A and B are shown apart, each in its own frame.
Chain A
Amino acid sequence: MAVNMECLATLKGHEDRVWCVAWNHSGTLLATCGTDKVVCIWKLEGERWIRSSVLSDGHSRTIRCVTWSPCDKLLTSTSFDGTTAVWDRKNGEFECALTLEGHENEVKCAAWSPSGQFLATCGRDKRVWIWSIDDDSDYECSSVLSSHTQDVKSVTWHPHKDTLLSTSYDNTIRIYEEQEDDWECISVLESHTSTVWAAAFDKTGQRFASCSDDCSVKIWQEYLPQNKEGVITPGNHSTWKCICSLSGYHQRTIYDIKWNNVTGYIATACGDNSIRIFSESADSDDNAPSFQMIAQMKNAHNEDVNSIDWNPAKPDMLASCSDDGDIKLWRLSSEV
C-alpha cells in the first residue's frame, strides 16, 4: 500500500531557520518557532492559512521548541537563552505569563504531561527538570534529573501515564517515573549508535519510535512485569525492548518523528530534505513487527526538515518546517 503526499500550503513568515512546528490539540492552530526569536501562530481563515499572531520579546536567543498544554490555553516556548516561557491565551491574544529559569544553558525541549499537572524541560546542561503545576497555576520544580551524561535533546510524555521519556546526545533514551517521594530514572535504553533526536509514543503508549543521527528509526515495546513473552523485568519495572530497526531509508540525521494516533502512520523529518511515512505491515508479528515505507516526499523542503507534526483533528494532515525558513502543510491520500 502506498499513499500520496500533496503540499497544501507553504507558510512564509519566519526570517530564518524554523526549528519546530506544533499543532494545538484541537488542530485549529499551528505554533512555529525558530532562529528569529519569535513564535508564530497560524490559523485557517477561509481558504488560506494566515499568521494570526507573532509572539516576540519572550526570548533573547533562538527558540528551539514550542508545545501546547493539554487544554490548549497555554503554550510554552523553550530557548537557547536558558529559559522556558509560558504564554497564556486570553481572548485569542497571547501574553507571556511567566518565565521558568533554572537550566544552565540552552533549553532544547518542553513537554506537558497529559494530565496538565507536569511540565518537563530538558537542555544542554544534561538535565531534565520536572515542574509541577498546582491548581493556582503555580509552577514548582519537583525534580531535577541528572541521569544523562550529555546534552538532552527531547522529552516526551506517555499518552496516558505520568511516565516521561528523554533522548540525548549520549545515544540513550531514558525513562522516568515518580517513585515513593521523587522522580527516578527507571530505565536506560541503549541501541542507537549516535544522538537520539526525538521519540514519539503510539496511541496505546505500549510502543514508541525513536530517531537518531545514526540514520535509523527504532521501535520499542513495553513488556510489563509477568509478561507472557517471558521478558525479564528487573525491579518490577516494565522493560522496554527494541523490537524493530528501520535502516537504509534515511541518508542523513533524522531530526524528528511523530506517530499518528488514528492511522498508526509514523512520519520522519530528515536532514536529507525528505519526509517519509511508515506503516506497520498487516501480517506483522507483535514481538518482531515489520514496518514498510508507504510514502517518501523527496525534497519536501529545500534544506533539512527539522520538525513534523500530525494534525490531531485531521489524521491525513501533516505540518513540517525546515532550515529553508518555510513551513509546509501536507495532505496524505490513499493511492488509487
Chain B
Amino acid sequence: MKRLSMTYTVASLMDNTNPEIYKISSEREITQTELSDDVEDEFDSWEVFDILRSIKDPEHPLTLEELNVVDKSLIQVDNKNNSISIQFTPTVPHCSLATLIGLSIRVKLVRSLPPRFKVDVKINPGSHVSEIAVNKQLNDKERVAAALENFDLLRTVNKCLEER
C-alpha cells in the first residue's frame, strides 16, 4: 500500500550512457590566516565544495565533481545570514535522477554543517526540463523528511554518500 514518498526513479536504464568527464579541481590553497589558531575560519564555498565533491553519481562510478554536477562557482555561502545556496547541473536536461542527486547533496550538507545554516539546493537555471518542480520538491522540508523515512530511498542516498 505504501508508495515511495517522493517520486524517484532508481534508473535501470541509464539516462546518460556516456557522460563527459571533467578534470577535477585542484585543492584549495591554505593561507597563513587559516593556519593560525587565533583566527576563526568562516565557512566558504571551498569548504562546502569539499563536502560535496566526493558524492557519487547514482548511475556512474564517478563523483559529482567529475561529472561537473557540482562546481565551486555555483556555491554561495553567507556566513552573516547563515545561508548557503547550491546550484547543481544535471548531466543531461531530462535526467530522471535530478531529485535524487539534489537530495544526496542536501543530506550530505545536513550531516556535515552546523544546524544554523539554511541550505537551498536548486538546479542550475536552464539545465533541466523539470527545474521548477524539482526545486520545489527539494526545498519542501516536509517532503524531504518524509522521503528520508523511506528505507529504500535512504539506502540509495547513503550509497551515493559512501566514502571511496
Residues of A within 8 A of B (CB): 17, 35, 61-62, 64, 80, 82, 104-106, 108, 124, 151, 153, 169, 194-195, 213, 252, 271-272, 302-304, 323-324
Contact = CB atoms under 8 A, between A and B. Distances in A.
Nearest to B116: A302
B116 A35 contact: no
Interface in B80-137: 115-116, 118, 136
B142 A61 contact: no
B16 interface: no
A62 B145 contact: yes
Nearest to B141: A304
7 contacts: A80-B145, A105-B5, A106-B5, A106-B146, A151-B143, A213-B140, A252-B118
B2 interface: yes
A302 B115 CA distance: 8
A104 B115 contact: no
A303 B143 contact: no
B149 interface: yes
A207 B5 CA distance: 34
Contact of B140 (A61, A62, A195, A272): A195
Interface of B: 1-3, 5, 115-116, 118, 136, 139-143, 145-146, 149
Given A82-B1, A105-B3, A169 B145 contact: no
Nearest to A271: B118
B97 to A, nearest CB: 21
Contact of B136 (A62, A82, A195, A323): A195
Given A82-B1, A82-B2, A105-B2, A64 B142 contact: yes
B interface, by DSSP: helix, strand, loop or mixed? loop
B3 A104 contact: yes
B145 A17 contact: yes
The interface centre, meaning the residue of B1, B116, B145, B149 with most chain A CB atoms within 10 A of its CB, is: B145
Given A62-B146, A62-B149, A195-B136, A303 B115 contact: yes
A323 B118 CA distance: 12
A40 to B, nearest CB: 19
A303 B5 CA distance: 24
Given A104-B3, A303-B115, A324-B115, A169 B146 contact: no
A124 B146 contact: yes
A80 B142 CA distance: 10
The 8 residue pairs across chains A and B that have the minimum distance between CB atoms: A80-B146, A106-B146, A61-B149, A105-B3, A303-B115, A80-B149, A104-B3, A62-B149
Given A108-B142, A271-B118, 18 more contacts: A61-B146, A62-B145, A62-B146, A80-B149, A104-B1, A105-B2, A105-B3, A105-B146, A106-B5, A124-B143, A124-B146, A153-B142, A169-B136, A213-B139, A272-B118, A302-B116, A303-B115, A324-B115
A252 B117 CA distance: 13
A331 to B, nearest CB: 26
Contacts of B146: 61-62, 80, 105-106, 124
B21 to A, nearest CB: 37
A82 B1 CA distance: 10
Contacts of B116: 302-303
